[in-house]
Chains A and B, each alone.
Chain A
Amino acid sequence: MSVLALKDARMELKTTKSMKEMLNTAASLCGQDLTSFVLASAEKRAKSVLSDYQSLTLRREEQVNFLKALTNPQSPTEALKELMASESLVER
C-alpha cells in the first residue's frame, strides 16, 4: 500500500496484553509504529495466500518434466480406467 493512499477504512482488533507488547517491541525494532507493522505483515501474508490460491510457479527442472507431461501425455492407468468405467452417481 502506498504511503499516500487515503485511509478510508478502519480495523479494530482485540488481543492479549502480552501479544500487543510483543508486536509493539517488534515494531519498534523495525523502526515502525504498531499499525504499519501489523498491516505490512498482514499484507505480505495476504499476497502470498492470494498468489498460492491462483497459481504455482515451477522451477527450471520442474518445467522440463511438465513439458514432457503436456507433450507426451501418458496412457490412462488401470486405476483411472476403472474409476471412469464405474457407475456414476445421480446428478441433479
Chain B
Amino acid sequence: MSDNSRIILELYNPGKTYNNQKKFDCENAIINKFVASSLKKQVRDELSRAFVLLDTNDNGRFVGFYTLSSFSIKAPMLTALSKGSLPSDIPCSRLIMLGIDINYKRRGLGKQLMKSVIQKTIAAADQIGIYGLYLDADEDAYTFYDNLGFITLQEKKGTKPTPMFLSIETMRELNQA
C-alpha cells in the first residue's frame, strides 16, 4: 500500500475548479462522465453532497469521490408489523456513487471513502435521526458490502444493481473515530 498521507478528503465545493476533475478516470464510463459533466450541477442543485479525495502532492488533483443524499425506503406494512413503533417510510442516507482514479487504486482509498460514508451517516443520524445507509451495489462490489454486513433488500433481477442496507445501530456500535 502506498503512502496516503498526502491525500486529503474535503467537502466538494461546486464553485471551485478541481485539478483533473474533467479527466477523472476510474475505469467506469458512466461515473467518469458523471464527474466530468454532472457532479457540479447535482451538488449545486442540492440533490446530493459530495466528498472528494485530493492529492496535495499533485496540485490538489481530484483522485476520488463519493456522493451522498437523503433517501427513503417505503414499507407500507412496517407500521402495522412493528405495532406502531416504526414509520412506513424509513429515512436513511444513500451512497449514490463512489470512484477512485485508476492510478490511485489498490492503496485502500476506496475503503477509506467507505469509512467516511459511514461516519457521515452516523453524524446525520445524530443530527436529524435516520435509520441507516442505503446503496445500490453493482455485481463486482456486492461481496465487499455483504462482508461489511449490508443486508440485501431486494433479490437481484437481471443486470440491475442490488439494493442494500446497513442499520445505524450496527454502525454506532463501532464508531470510535
Question: Interface SS of chain B: helix, strand, loop or mixed?
Answer: mixed
Bound-complex Cα distance A70 to B87 (A): 11
Q: Mark B114-130, 1 if CB is under 8 A from A, else 0.
A: 11101100000000000
Check A67–B86 contact: CB distance below 8 A. Answer: yes
- A12: chain B residues at CB < 8 Å are none
Question: Chain A contact residues (Cβ within 8 angstroms of B): what range?
Answer: 20 to 34
Do A89 and B111 contact each other (CB < 8 Å), given the known contacts A55-B72, A58-B153, A67-B78? Answer: no
- B46: chain A residues at CB < 8 Å are none
Do A73 and B73 contact each other (CB < 8 Å), given the known contacts A67-B82, A89-B8? Answer: no
Check A70–B8 contact: CB distance below 8 A. Answer: no
Bound-complex Cα distance A76 to B166 (A): 10
Binding site for A on B (CB under 8 A): 4-5, 7-10, 47, 53, 69, 71-78, 81-82, 85-86, 89-90, 108-109, 111-112, 114-116, 118-119, 131-132, 134, 147-149, 151, 153-154, 163, 165, 167-171, 173-177
User: Could you jot down 19 A-B contacts, CB within 8 Å?
Assistant: A63-B75, A63-B77, A64-B77, A67-B82, A70-B90, A70-B167, A71-B82, A73-B169, A75-B173, A76-B171, A77-B149, A80-B170, A80-B171, A83-B148, A84-B175, A86-B115, A90-B8, A90-B9, A92-B8
